[in-house]
Amino acid sequence: MYKTVYKEVEVDVDLTDFDTDDLVEELESRGNLPTSPQGSAVELVNAIYEKRRMGNHNYQHELDQLIYQVLGKII
């Protein structure tokens, strides 16, 4: 005779134990990593940062792309 038992276990995990590529792959599989052929979210944030740092306030296009990538909504 067999019996199935379910047990909940709490485990502390250090994310540095995982390879970055594995973490990115997991986020992509969950649909939580914004990606786009127009540029990654990090690239867009860097572009916005550089424009602001140089006093160029014309970064609305990049900001709109970033918002769409992260939220999936257009303003």
pLDDT tens digits, the chain, 75 residues: what are they? 888 999 999 999 887 888 888 887 887 787 766 555 556 888 889 999 999 999 999 999 999 888 888 887 777
The amino acid at residue 17 is D
- Per domain, the residue ranges of the chain are 15-71
Cα–Cα distances in Å, from 61 out to 30, 38, 45, 56, 70?
A: 27, 11, 12, 13, 14
Q: Is the pTM of this model over 0.85?
A: no
